[in-house]
Chains A and B, each alone.
Chain A
Amino acid sequence: MTDYALEFAALKKTFRTLRGPVEALRGLDLQVRPGEIFGYIGVNGAGKSTSMKVLLGLIRASSGTARVFGEPAGSLAARRRIGYLPEVANYHEFMSAAELLRMHARLAGVPRALQAERCRDALEVVGLTGRQHGRISEYSKGMKQRVGVAQALVSDPPLLILDELTSGLDPFAQRDLRDILLRLKQRNITVFFSSHHMSEVEAICDRAAIIHRGQLQACGTIAELTENRQRVEMLWDPQSVAEPLAEIDPQGQAAVASQDADEFVERALGRGYRLRRLTTKRSNLEDVFHDLTRKIDQEVASCSR
Protein backbone atom coordinates (compact mmCIF):
# COMPACT_ATOMS: atom_id res chain seq x y z
CA MET A 1 0.00 0.00 0.00
CA THR A 2 1.41 3.36 -1.02
CA ASP A 3 1.63 6.33 1.33
CA TYR A 4 0.49 8.77 -1.31
CA ALA A 5 -2.79 9.49 -3.03
CA LEU A 6 -0.81 10.70 -6.00
CA GLU A 7 2.81 11.17 -6.84
CA PHE A 8 4.93 12.46 -9.68
CA ALA A 9 8.56 11.42 -9.96
CA ALA A 10 10.90 13.13 -12.42
CA LEU A 11 7.92 13.62 -14.72
CA LYS A 12 8.71 15.11 -18.09
CA LYS A 13 6.48 15.94 -21.02
CA THR A 14 7.62 17.42 -24.28
CA PHE A 15 5.08 18.34 -26.94
CA ARG A 16 6.19 18.25 -30.55
CA THR A 17 4.90 21.28 -32.37
CA LEU A 18 5.52 22.82 -35.77
CA ARG A 19 7.77 25.39 -34.08
CA GLY A 20 9.79 22.68 -32.42
CA PRO A 21 9.59 20.82 -29.12
CA VAL A 22 7.90 22.51 -26.17
CA GLU A 23 8.82 21.27 -22.70
CA ALA A 24 5.65 21.42 -20.60
CA LEU A 25 7.00 19.40 -17.67
CA ARG A 26 10.70 19.33 -16.76
CA GLY A 27 11.19 16.71 -14.09
CA LEU A 28 8.24 17.32 -11.80
CA ASP A 29 8.41 15.72 -8.34
CA LEU A 30 5.39 15.94 -6.07
CA GLN A 31 3.51 13.82 -3.55
CA VAL A 32 0.01 14.34 -2.20
CA ARG A 33 -1.11 12.46 0.91
CA PRO A 34 -4.51 10.82 1.30
CA GLY A 35 -7.18 13.04 2.83
CA GLU A 36 -5.43 16.32 1.99
CA ILE A 37 -6.88 19.31 0.24
CA PHE A 38 -3.93 20.17 -1.93
CA GLY A 39 -3.67 23.42 -3.87
CA TYR A 40 -1.75 23.45 -7.11
CA ILE A 41 -0.69 26.95 -8.10
CA GLY A 42 0.92 28.19 -11.25
CA VAL A 43 0.56 30.70 -14.04
CA ASN A 44 -1.13 29.70 -17.30
CA GLY A 45 1.15 27.29 -19.13
CA ALA A 46 3.06 26.32 -15.98
CA GLY A 47 2.19 22.65 -16.47
CA LYS A 48 -0.72 22.19 -14.04
CA SER A 49 -3.31 20.90 -16.49
CA THR A 50 -0.70 18.82 -18.33
CA SER A 51 0.35 17.02 -15.17
CA MET A 52 -3.29 16.47 -14.18
CA LYS A 53 -4.01 15.00 -17.60
CA VAL A 54 -1.03 12.68 -17.21
CA LEU A 55 -2.67 11.31 -14.04
CA LEU A 56 -5.78 10.49 -16.08
CA GLY A 57 -3.93 9.04 -19.05
CA LEU A 58 -5.23 11.79 -21.33
CA ILE A 59 -1.63 12.75 -22.00
CA ARG A 60 1.35 10.40 -21.98
CA ALA A 61 4.48 11.41 -20.12
CA SER A 62 7.71 11.57 -22.11
CA SER A 63 9.60 10.15 -19.11
CA GLY A 64 9.29 9.77 -15.36
CA THR A 65 6.41 8.24 -13.48
CA ALA A 66 3.04 9.26 -12.14
CA ARG A 67 1.02 7.11 -9.77
CA VAL A 68 -2.42 7.22 -8.19
CA PHE A 69 -2.65 5.26 -4.94
CA GLY A 70 0.30 3.24 -6.19
CA GLU A 71 -1.29 2.41 -9.55
CA PRO A 72 0.29 3.64 -12.78
CA ALA A 73 -1.36 6.87 -13.91
CA GLY A 74 -3.83 6.36 -16.73
CA SER A 75 -4.46 2.71 -15.93
CA LEU A 76 -8.04 1.57 -15.44
CA ALA A 77 -7.27 0.84 -11.78
CA ALA A 78 -5.99 4.39 -11.29
CA ARG A 79 -8.95 5.94 -13.11
CA ARG A 80 -11.41 3.98 -10.93
CA ARG A 81 -10.10 6.00 -7.99
CA ILE A 82 -10.34 9.42 -9.59
CA GLY A 83 -13.14 11.89 -10.06
CA TYR A 84 -12.09 14.60 -12.52
CA LEU A 85 -13.38 18.05 -13.31
CA PRO A 86 -11.62 19.47 -16.39
CA GLU A 87 -10.52 23.08 -16.72
CA VAL A 88 -13.15 23.73 -19.38
CA ALA A 89 -16.01 21.52 -18.28
CA ASN A 90 -18.36 21.05 -21.20
CA TYR A 91 -21.07 18.48 -20.98
CA HIS A 92 -23.75 17.24 -23.32
CA GLU A 93 -25.96 20.22 -22.73
CA PHE A 94 -29.14 18.59 -23.93
CA MET A 95 -28.99 16.44 -20.80
CA SER A 96 -30.24 17.31 -17.36
CA ALA A 97 -27.89 17.09 -14.38
CA ALA A 98 -29.66 13.91 -13.29
CA GLU A 99 -29.14 12.28 -16.72
CA LEU A 100 -25.50 13.34 -16.82
CA LEU A 101 -24.84 11.86 -13.40
CA ARG A 102 -26.55 8.60 -14.33
CA MET A 103 -24.44 8.43 -17.48
CA HIS A 104 -21.22 8.94 -15.51
CA ALA A 105 -22.32 6.44 -12.87
CA ARG A 106 -22.75 3.86 -15.63
CA LEU A 107 -19.43 4.75 -17.28
CA ALA A 108 -17.69 4.54 -13.92
CA GLY A 109 -19.08 1.03 -13.43
CA VAL A 110 -21.21 1.88 -10.39
CA PRO A 111 -23.47 -1.14 -9.72
CA ARG A 112 -26.98 -0.55 -10.96
CA ALA A 113 -28.47 -0.91 -7.49
CA LEU A 114 -26.25 1.90 -6.19
CA GLN A 115 -26.55 4.34 -9.09
CA ALA A 116 -29.62 6.24 -7.89
CA GLU A 117 -28.21 6.58 -4.39
CA ARG A 118 -24.82 7.82 -5.63
CA CYS A 119 -26.47 10.39 -7.90
CA ARG A 120 -28.68 11.61 -5.08
CA ASP A 121 -25.71 11.83 -2.75
CA ALA A 122 -23.56 13.75 -5.24
CA LEU A 123 -26.38 16.21 -5.92
CA GLU A 124 -26.84 16.76 -2.21
CA VAL A 125 -23.14 17.46 -1.65
CA VAL A 126 -23.12 20.18 -4.32
CA GLY A 127 -26.49 21.58 -3.26
CA LEU A 128 -28.40 20.79 -6.44
CA THR A 129 -31.07 18.57 -4.93
CA GLY A 130 -34.41 19.45 -6.48
CA ARG A 131 -32.80 21.26 -9.40
CA GLN A 132 -31.39 18.25 -11.19
CA HIS A 133 -34.06 17.98 -13.87
CA GLY A 134 -33.33 21.24 -15.69
CA ARG A 135 -31.24 21.17 -18.85
CA ILE A 136 -27.54 21.82 -18.27
CA SER A 137 -27.62 24.40 -21.07
CA GLU A 138 -29.97 26.47 -18.94
CA TYR A 139 -27.71 26.44 -15.86
CA SER A 140 -25.52 29.36 -14.79
CA LYS A 141 -21.74 28.90 -14.91
CA GLY A 142 -21.63 28.37 -11.16
CA MET A 143 -24.30 25.68 -11.36
CA LYS A 144 -22.47 24.00 -14.23
CA GLN A 145 -19.35 23.83 -12.09
CA ARG A 146 -21.39 22.26 -9.31
CA VAL A 147 -22.73 19.72 -11.77
CA GLY A 148 -19.11 19.10 -12.76
CA VAL A 149 -18.13 18.42 -9.17
CA ALA A 150 -21.17 16.16 -8.79
CA GLN A 151 -20.20 14.11 -11.86
CA ALA A 152 -16.69 13.79 -10.46
CA LEU A 153 -18.15 12.57 -7.15
CA VAL A 154 -20.71 10.15 -8.54
CA SER A 155 -18.35 7.16 -8.48
CA ASP A 156 -17.45 7.92 -4.84
CA PRO A 157 -13.74 8.25 -5.65
CA PRO A 158 -11.07 8.65 -2.96
CA LEU A 159 -9.31 11.28 -5.10
CA LEU A 160 -10.80 14.34 -6.76
CA ILE A 161 -8.81 16.22 -9.40
CA LEU A 162 -10.32 19.63 -10.03
CA ASP A 163 -8.71 21.79 -12.67
CA GLU A 164 -9.34 25.48 -11.98
CA LEU A 165 -12.55 24.85 -10.16
CA THR A 166 -13.46 28.45 -9.43
CA SER A 167 -12.05 30.09 -12.55
CA GLY A 168 -14.39 32.74 -13.95
CA LEU A 169 -16.96 32.47 -11.17
CA ASP A 170 -18.43 35.29 -9.12
CA PRO A 171 -17.38 35.57 -5.44
CA PHE A 172 -20.56 33.92 -4.17
CA ALA A 173 -20.16 30.91 -6.45
CA GLN A 174 -16.48 30.70 -5.47
CA ARG A 175 -17.39 30.62 -1.81
CA ASP A 176 -20.06 27.96 -2.40
CA LEU A 177 -17.53 25.74 -4.14
CA ARG A 178 -14.97 26.30 -1.37
CA ASP A 179 -17.59 25.16 1.13
CA ILE A 180 -18.19 22.07 -0.97
CA LEU A 181 -14.47 21.25 -0.86
CA LEU A 182 -14.46 21.57 2.90
CA ARG A 183 -17.42 19.20 3.11
CA LEU A 184 -15.49 16.73 0.97
CA LYS A 185 -12.55 16.91 3.34
CA GLN A 186 -14.83 15.74 6.12
CA ARG A 187 -15.48 12.63 4.04
CA ASN A 188 -11.73 12.00 3.88
CA ILE A 189 -11.61 12.56 0.11
CA THR A 190 -8.27 13.75 -1.24
CA VAL A 191 -8.77 16.92 -3.26
CA PHE A 192 -6.06 17.97 -5.70
CA PHE A 193 -7.10 21.23 -7.26
CA SER A 194 -5.44 23.91 -9.31
CA SER A 195 -6.28 27.54 -8.87
CA HIS A 196 -5.25 31.08 -9.65
CA HIS A 197 -6.91 32.36 -6.48
CA MET A 198 -4.22 32.47 -3.80
CA SER A 199 -6.62 33.55 -1.06
CA GLU A 200 -8.74 30.49 -1.82
CA VAL A 201 -5.73 28.19 -1.55
CA GLU A 202 -4.66 29.86 1.68
CA ALA A 203 -8.13 29.52 3.14
CA ILE A 204 -8.83 25.85 2.55
CA CYS A 205 -5.69 23.92 1.64
CA ASP A 206 -3.72 21.68 3.97
CA ARG A 207 -0.75 21.99 1.65
CA ALA A 208 0.04 23.70 -1.61
CA ALA A 209 2.61 23.51 -4.37
CA ILE A 210 3.87 26.20 -6.69
CA ILE A 211 4.73 24.98 -10.16
CA HIS A 212 6.44 27.17 -12.70
CA ARG A 213 7.96 26.39 -16.08
CA GLY A 214 7.14 22.72 -15.63
CA GLN A 215 9.01 22.30 -12.35
CA LEU A 216 8.03 22.28 -8.70
CA GLN A 217 9.27 25.49 -7.09
CA ALA A 218 7.90 25.16 -3.60
CA CYS A 219 5.69 22.80 -1.64
CA GLY A 220 4.40 22.66 1.91
CA THR A 221 1.74 23.92 4.26
CA ILE A 222 0.76 27.55 3.83
CA ALA A 223 2.67 28.34 7.02
CA GLU A 224 5.77 26.58 5.68
CA LEU A 225 5.54 28.37 2.36
CA THR A 226 5.22 31.81 3.92
CA GLU A 227 7.41 31.21 7.01
CA ASN A 228 10.55 33.32 7.24
CA ARG A 229 9.54 35.14 4.12
CA GLN A 230 9.16 38.83 4.36
CA ARG A 231 8.52 41.30 1.70
CA VAL A 232 10.21 44.66 1.51
CA GLU A 233 8.12 47.41 0.01
CA MET A 234 9.93 50.53 -1.14
CA LEU A 235 9.10 53.93 -2.47
CA TRP A 236 11.79 55.48 -4.66
CA ASP A 237 12.16 58.87 -6.19
CA PRO A 238 12.09 58.00 -9.88
CA GLN A 239 13.02 61.42 -11.18
CA SER A 240 16.26 62.04 -13.06
CA VAL A 241 17.07 58.36 -13.50
CA ALA A 242 18.69 57.69 -16.84
CA GLU A 243 18.22 53.93 -16.90
CA PRO A 244 15.07 52.95 -14.97
CA LEU A 245 14.80 49.51 -13.40
CA ALA A 246 11.99 47.31 -14.62
CA GLU A 247 11.09 46.33 -11.04
CA ILE A 248 10.30 49.93 -10.09
CA ASP A 249 7.04 51.22 -11.47
CA PRO A 250 6.64 54.79 -12.83
CA GLN A 251 5.33 55.96 -9.45
CA GLY A 252 8.51 54.68 -7.82
CA GLN A 253 6.97 51.71 -6.02
CA ALA A 254 8.71 48.35 -5.80
CA ALA A 255 8.40 45.22 -3.69
CA VAL A 256 10.90 42.37 -3.39
CA ALA A 257 11.47 39.36 -1.15
CA SER A 258 13.55 40.23 1.90
CA GLN A 259 16.45 38.00 0.86
CA ASP A 260 16.76 39.91 -2.41
CA ALA A 261 16.37 43.35 -0.84
CA ASP A 262 20.08 44.15 -0.28
CA GLU A 263 21.06 43.36 -3.83
CA PHE A 264 18.06 45.25 -5.20
CA VAL A 265 18.67 48.37 -3.11
CA GLU A 266 22.31 48.45 -4.25
CA ARG A 267 21.25 48.13 -7.84
CA ALA A 268 18.68 50.91 -7.53
CA LEU A 269 21.08 53.25 -5.78
CA GLY A 270 23.64 52.50 -8.46
CA ARG A 271 21.18 53.67 -11.10
CA GLY A 272 20.65 56.95 -9.29
CA TYR A 273 17.37 56.30 -7.50
CA ARG A 274 16.81 57.93 -4.10
CA LEU A 275 15.01 55.92 -1.43
CA ARG A 276 12.08 57.71 0.20
CA ARG A 277 10.47 54.96 2.27
CA LEU A 278 11.09 51.31 3.13
CA THR A 279 8.74 49.00 5.03
CA THR A 280 8.72 45.27 5.65
CA LYS A 281 5.71 43.00 5.95
CA ARG A 282 5.09 39.29 6.31
CA SER A 283 4.59 37.66 2.91
CA ASN A 284 1.34 35.97 2.07
CA LEU A 285 1.04 33.16 -0.47
CA GLU A 286 0.48 35.59 -3.31
CA ASP A 287 3.72 37.43 -2.47
CA VAL A 288 5.64 34.16 -2.27
CA PHE A 289 4.19 33.09 -5.60
CA HIS A 290 5.07 36.40 -7.25
CA ASP A 291 8.59 36.47 -5.83
CA LEU A 292 9.34 32.90 -6.82
CA THR A 293 7.99 33.06 -10.33
CA ARG A 294 9.48 36.47 -11.06
CA LYS A 295 12.89 35.40 -9.84
CA ILE A 296 12.83 32.31 -12.04
CA ASP A 297 11.68 34.32 -15.05
CA GLN A 298 14.51 36.80 -14.48
CA GLU A 299 17.04 33.97 -14.21
CA VAL A 300 15.77 32.41 -17.41
CA ALA A 301 15.82 35.78 -19.16
CA SER A 302 19.39 36.49 -18.04
CA CYS A 303 20.51 33.02 -19.16
CA SER A 304 18.98 33.44 -22.60
CA ARG A 305 20.61 36.83 -23.13
Chain B
Amino acid sequence: MLSLMEIARVQLLENVRRQVHLITLFMAAAMLMLPAYVNAFSMGLQAFQLVTKDFGLTLISYYGVAMALLLGSSVVPRDIERKTIYPILSRPLGRVTYLGGQFLGTAGLVVASLFLLTGAMGLGLASLSRQWDAGLFAAAWGYSLECSVLIAVCICFSTVASPPLAGVLGFFVYIVGGMSNAFLEFFLREDRGANGVADLVEGMQRFTPNFSLFHLKYPVVHGFVIQPHYHLAETVYALAWILLFLLLAGIRFETRDL
Protein backbone atom coordinates (compact mmCIF):
# COMPACT_ATOMS: atom_id res chain seq x y z
CA MET B 1 0.00 0.00 0.00
CA LEU B 2 2.88 2.35 0.84
CA SER B 3 4.52 1.53 -2.49
CA LEU B 4 1.25 2.26 -4.29
CA MET B 5 0.95 5.67 -2.66
CA GLU B 6 4.62 6.43 -3.30
CA ILE B 7 4.28 5.69 -7.02
CA ALA B 8 1.07 7.74 -7.12
CA ARG B 9 2.87 10.64 -5.44
CA VAL B 10 5.77 10.52 -7.89
CA GLN B 11 3.41 10.28 -10.85
CA LEU B 12 1.46 13.27 -9.61
CA LEU B 13 4.69 15.26 -9.28
CA GLU B 14 5.79 14.09 -12.71
CA ASN B 15 2.55 15.34 -14.25
CA VAL B 16 2.96 18.64 -12.46
CA ARG B 17 6.51 18.83 -13.80
CA ARG B 18 5.10 18.30 -17.30
CA GLN B 19 3.26 21.55 -16.62
CA VAL B 20 -0.15 19.97 -17.12
CA HIS B 21 -1.32 22.05 -14.15
CA LEU B 22 -0.45 25.26 -15.99
CA ILE B 23 -3.03 24.42 -18.66
CA THR B 24 -5.50 23.77 -15.87
CA LEU B 25 -4.72 27.11 -14.24
CA PHE B 26 -5.21 28.86 -17.56
CA MET B 27 -8.53 27.06 -18.00
CA ALA B 28 -9.51 27.98 -14.42
CA ALA B 29 -8.91 31.65 -15.16
CA ALA B 30 -11.10 31.30 -18.25
CA MET B 31 -13.81 29.57 -16.19
CA LEU B 32 -13.64 32.36 -13.63
CA MET B 33 -14.34 34.92 -16.33
CA LEU B 34 -16.87 32.82 -18.23
CA PRO B 35 -19.96 33.93 -16.20
CA ALA B 36 -19.14 37.61 -16.72
CA TYR B 37 -18.68 36.98 -20.44
CA VAL B 38 -21.96 35.07 -20.78
CA ASN B 39 -23.75 37.66 -18.64
CA ALA B 40 -22.80 40.37 -21.08
CA PHE B 41 -24.91 38.61 -23.71
CA SER B 42 -27.72 37.30 -21.46
CA MET B 43 -31.31 38.44 -21.51
CA GLY B 44 -31.87 37.93 -17.77
CA LEU B 45 -30.27 36.48 -14.67
CA GLN B 46 -31.93 33.04 -14.89
CA ALA B 47 -30.95 32.52 -18.51
CA PHE B 48 -27.42 33.70 -17.84
CA GLN B 49 -27.01 31.17 -15.04
CA LEU B 50 -28.39 28.28 -17.09
CA VAL B 51 -26.27 29.05 -20.11
CA THR B 52 -23.12 29.56 -18.05
CA LYS B 53 -23.55 26.30 -16.15
CA ASP B 54 -24.40 24.34 -19.28
CA PHE B 55 -21.55 25.74 -21.33
CA GLY B 56 -19.06 25.70 -18.45
CA LEU B 57 -19.76 22.12 -17.41
CA THR B 58 -19.53 21.00 -21.04
CA LEU B 59 -16.11 22.65 -21.33
CA ILE B 60 -14.97 21.07 -18.06
CA SER B 61 -16.17 17.66 -19.25
CA TYR B 62 -14.28 17.93 -22.55
CA TYR B 63 -11.19 19.15 -20.78
CA GLY B 64 -11.31 16.18 -18.39
CA VAL B 65 -11.80 13.67 -21.20
CA ALA B 66 -8.93 15.16 -23.21
CA MET B 67 -6.62 15.03 -20.18
CA ALA B 68 -7.69 11.49 -19.32
CA LEU B 69 -7.00 10.28 -22.87
CA LEU B 70 -3.65 12.07 -23.20
CA LEU B 71 -2.26 11.27 -19.78
CA GLY B 72 -3.80 7.81 -19.38
CA SER B 73 -2.49 6.52 -22.69
CA SER B 74 1.05 7.84 -22.17
CA VAL B 75 1.79 7.39 -18.50
CA VAL B 76 3.13 3.80 -18.62
CA PRO B 77 4.76 3.88 -22.10
CA ARG B 78 6.53 7.09 -21.12
CA ASP B 79 8.08 5.42 -18.09
CA ILE B 80 9.15 2.47 -20.25
CA GLU B 81 10.55 4.68 -23.00
CA ARG B 82 12.53 6.84 -20.56
CA LYS B 83 13.56 3.67 -18.69
CA THR B 84 12.60 5.20 -15.36
CA ILE B 85 10.56 2.05 -14.84
CA TYR B 86 13.59 -0.26 -14.35
CA PRO B 87 14.83 0.93 -10.97
CA ILE B 88 11.24 1.08 -9.73
CA LEU B 89 10.25 -2.43 -10.81
CA SER B 90 13.52 -3.84 -9.49
CA ARG B 91 12.09 -3.06 -6.05
CA PRO B 92 9.95 -5.63 -4.24
CA LEU B 93 6.59 -4.52 -5.59
CA GLY B 94 4.13 -6.10 -8.00
CA ARG B 95 3.46 -4.71 -11.42
CA VAL B 96 -0.22 -4.33 -10.55
CA THR B 97 0.87 -2.09 -7.68
CA TYR B 98 2.91 -0.07 -10.15
CA LEU B 99 -0.07 0.30 -12.49
CA GLY B 100 -2.33 1.16 -9.58
CA GLY B 101 0.08 3.88 -8.46
CA GLN B 102 0.30 5.30 -11.96
CA PHE B 103 -3.48 5.31 -12.16
CA LEU B 104 -3.91 7.06 -8.80
CA GLY B 105 -1.28 9.69 -9.61
CA THR B 106 -2.87 10.48 -12.96
CA ALA B 107 -6.48 10.31 -11.80
CA GLY B 108 -5.59 12.46 -8.77
CA LEU B 109 -4.35 15.25 -10.99
CA VAL B 110 -7.34 15.06 -13.35
CA VAL B 111 -9.87 15.01 -10.50
CA ALA B 112 -8.15 17.93 -8.76
CA SER B 113 -8.18 19.84 -12.06
CA LEU B 114 -11.90 19.20 -12.60
CA PHE B 115 -12.76 20.40 -9.11
CA LEU B 116 -10.54 23.44 -9.51
CA LEU B 117 -12.27 24.38 -12.78
CA THR B 118 -15.71 23.79 -11.28
CA GLY B 119 -14.77 25.88 -8.25
CA ALA B 120 -13.54 28.70 -10.50
CA MET B 121 -16.77 28.65 -12.48
CA GLY B 122 -18.84 28.54 -9.27
CA LEU B 123 -16.89 31.49 -7.92
CA GLY B 124 -17.47 33.45 -11.12
CA LEU B 125 -21.18 32.70 -10.96
CA ALA B 126 -21.45 33.56 -7.27
CA SER B 127 -19.75 36.90 -7.81
CA LEU B 128 -22.58 37.92 -10.14
CA SER B 129 -25.61 36.10 -8.73
CA ARG B 130 -24.62 36.32 -5.03
CA GLN B 131 -25.49 32.62 -4.74
CA TRP B 132 -23.08 29.74 -4.27
CA ASP B 133 -24.25 26.65 -6.17
CA ALA B 134 -22.72 23.62 -4.42
CA GLY B 135 -24.64 21.38 -6.83
CA LEU B 136 -22.02 22.07 -9.48
CA PHE B 137 -19.67 19.77 -7.61
CA ALA B 138 -22.14 16.91 -8.04
CA ALA B 139 -21.57 17.23 -11.78
CA ALA B 140 -17.80 17.54 -11.19
CA TRP B 141 -17.83 14.32 -9.19
CA GLY B 142 -19.60 12.54 -12.06
CA TYR B 143 -17.03 13.84 -14.53
CA SER B 144 -14.25 12.82 -12.16
CA LEU B 145 -15.53 9.27 -12.07
CA GLU B 146 -15.93 9.27 -15.85
CA CYS B 147 -12.35 10.47 -16.35
CA SER B 148 -11.00 8.00 -13.82
CA VAL B 149 -12.64 5.11 -15.66
CA LEU B 150 -11.29 6.47 -18.93
CA ILE B 151 -7.75 6.68 -17.50
CA ALA B 152 -7.99 3.04 -16.40
CA VAL B 153 -9.20 2.11 -19.90
CA CYS B 154 -6.28 3.95 -21.52
CA ILE B 155 -3.72 2.45 -19.13
CA CYS B 156 -5.13 -0.97 -19.97
CA PHE B 157 -4.81 -0.37 -23.72
CA SER B 158 -1.36 1.17 -23.33
CA THR B 159 0.00 -2.13 -22.01
CA VAL B 160 -0.70 -3.71 -25.40
CA ALA B 161 -0.63 -0.77 -27.82
CA SER B 162 1.33 2.39 -28.56
CA PRO B 163 0.21 5.60 -26.79
CA PRO B 164 -1.60 7.07 -29.84
CA LEU B 165 -3.43 3.80 -30.48
CA ALA B 166 -4.26 3.43 -26.79
CA GLY B 167 -5.68 6.96 -26.85
CA VAL B 168 -7.76 6.25 -29.93
CA LEU B 169 -9.06 2.97 -28.47
CA GLY B 170 -9.86 4.77 -25.23
CA PHE B 171 -11.75 7.44 -27.14
CA PHE B 172 -13.64 4.72 -29.02
CA VAL B 173 -14.69 3.10 -25.75
CA TYR B 174 -15.74 6.52 -24.47
CA ILE B 175 -17.88 7.22 -27.55
CA VAL B 176 -19.50 3.79 -27.58
CA GLY B 177 -20.03 3.73 -23.80
CA GLY B 178 -21.37 7.26 -23.70
CA MET B 179 -23.85 6.84 -26.53
CA SER B 180 -27.33 7.30 -25.10
CA ASN B 181 -30.30 5.06 -25.84
CA ALA B 182 -32.13 8.09 -27.18
CA PHE B 183 -29.38 8.63 -29.74
CA LEU B 184 -29.46 4.97 -30.77
CA GLU B 185 -33.24 4.70 -30.98
CA PHE B 186 -34.25 8.04 -32.47
CA PHE B 187 -31.24 9.11 -34.45
CA LEU B 188 -29.71 5.87 -35.70
CA ARG B 189 -32.79 3.59 -35.96
CA GLU B 190 -35.76 5.87 -36.61
CA ASP B 191 -34.19 8.82 -38.39
CA ARG B 192 -31.37 7.13 -40.32
CA GLY B 193 -32.66 3.57 -40.42
CA ALA B 194 -29.19 2.33 -39.50
CA ASN B 195 -30.38 -0.68 -37.53
CA GLY B 196 -27.19 -2.62 -38.16
CA VAL B 197 -24.99 0.08 -36.73
CA ALA B 198 -27.33 0.54 -33.79
CA ASP B 199 -27.27 -3.21 -33.08
CA LEU B 200 -23.48 -3.23 -33.31
CA VAL B 201 -23.15 -0.34 -30.87
CA GLU B 202 -25.62 -1.94 -28.49
CA GLY B 203 -23.62 -5.16 -28.63
CA MET B 204 -20.39 -3.35 -27.87
CA GLN B 205 -22.00 -1.41 -25.04
CA ARG B 206 -22.35 -4.68 -23.13
CA PHE B 207 -18.56 -4.69 -22.75
CA THR B 208 -17.97 -1.00 -22.10
CA PRO B 209 -18.77 1.25 -19.14
CA ASN B 210 -21.94 3.28 -19.47
CA PHE B 211 -20.41 6.74 -19.35
CA SER B 212 -23.80 8.46 -19.64
CA LEU B 213 -24.46 7.48 -16.00
CA PHE B 214 -21.80 9.98 -14.98
CA HIS B 215 -23.31 12.87 -16.93
CA LEU B 216 -25.19 14.92 -14.34
CA LYS B 217 -25.02 18.20 -16.17
CA TYR B 218 -28.74 18.58 -16.95
CA PRO B 219 -30.09 17.88 -13.45
CA VAL B 220 -27.41 20.18 -12.00
CA VAL B 221 -28.07 22.98 -14.48
CA HIS B 222 -31.82 22.82 -13.90
CA GLY B 223 -31.47 22.56 -10.14
CA PHE B 224 -32.87 19.03 -9.66
CA VAL B 225 -31.87 17.33 -6.46
CA ILE B 226 -29.58 14.32 -6.95
CA GLN B 227 -30.02 11.75 -4.21
CA PRO B 228 -26.87 10.80 -2.26
CA HIS B 229 -27.40 7.13 -3.02
CA TYR B 230 -27.05 7.94 -6.72
CA HIS B 231 -23.54 9.25 -6.06
CA LEU B 232 -22.77 6.15 -4.06
CA ALA B 233 -24.05 3.92 -6.85
CA GLU B 234 -22.15 5.74 -9.60
CA THR B 235 -18.99 5.63 -7.47
CA VAL B 236 -19.29 1.89 -6.91
CA TYR B 237 -20.03 1.39 -10.61
CA ALA B 238 -16.95 3.41 -11.59
CA LEU B 239 -14.72 1.62 -9.08
CA ALA B 240 -15.84 -1.75 -10.43
CA TRP B 241 -14.86 -0.79 -13.98
CA ILE B 242 -11.59 0.78 -12.83
CA LEU B 243 -10.64 -2.38 -10.96
CA LEU B 244 -11.59 -4.54 -13.92
CA PHE B 245 -9.49 -2.54 -16.38
CA LEU B 246 -6.53 -2.30 -14.02
CA LEU B 247 -6.76 -6.04 -13.42
CA LEU B 248 -6.75 -6.73 -17.16
CA ALA B 249 -3.82 -4.34 -17.55
CA GLY B 250 -2.03 -6.10 -14.70
CA ILE B 251 -2.53 -9.55 -16.21
CA ARG B 252 -1.03 -8.40 -19.50
CA PHE B 253 1.71 -6.28 -17.95
CA GLU B 254 2.79 -8.99 -15.52
CA THR B 255 4.03 -11.19 -18.34
CA ARG B 256 5.47 -8.45 -20.52
CA ASP B 257 9.24 -8.33 -21.06
CA LEU B 258 10.63 -4.90 -20.27
A-side residues, CB < 8 A to B, are: 15, 53, 56-60, 76-77, 79-80, 82, 84-86, 88-92, 94-95, 103-104, 106-109, 148, 151-152, 155
Contact = CB atoms under 8 A, between A and B. Distances in A.
Contact of A90 (B6, B82, B90, B255): B82
B87 A151 contact: yes
A108 B3 CA distance: 8
Interface stretch (B9-17, B107-115, B141-149, B163-171): B9-17
Interface residues of B, number: 23
Contacts, number: 73
Most B CB within 10 A of own CB, among A82, A107, A108: A107
Most A CB within 10 A of own CB, among B7, B89, B91: B91
B84 A56 contact: no
Given A60-B255, A90-B84, 20 more contacts: A56-B89, A57-B89, A58-B90, A58-B257, A59-B258, A77-B92, A79-B91, A85-B87, A86-B90, A88-B83, A92-B10, A92-B13, A92-B14, A103-B10, A104-B87, A104-B91, A106-B3, A106-B6, A109-B3, A151-B87
Interface of B: 2-3, 6-7, 10, 13-14, 17, 82-84, 86-94, 255, 257-258
Nearest to A85: B87
Nearest to A108: B91
Contact of A107 (B13, B83, B84, B91): B91
Given A103-B10, A107-B3, A90 B83 contact: yes
Contacts of B89: 56-58
| 4 tightest A-B CB contacts, nearest first | A84-B90, A86-B86, A107-B91, A94-B17
B91 A91 contact: no
Nearest to A57: B89
A176 B179 CA distance: 62
Nearest to A148: B87
Nearest to B97: A107
5 contacts: A79-B90, A90-B82, A103-B6, A107-B93, A152-B87
B101 to A, nearest CB: 10
Contacts of B17: 92, 94
B68 to A, nearest CB: 22
B92 A80 contact: yes
A103 to B, nearest CB: 6
Contact of B257 (A15, A80, A90, A104): A15
B74 to A, nearest CB: 15
B6 A107 contact: yes
A47 to B, nearest CB: 14
Most A CB within 10 A of own CB, among B3, B17, B92: B92
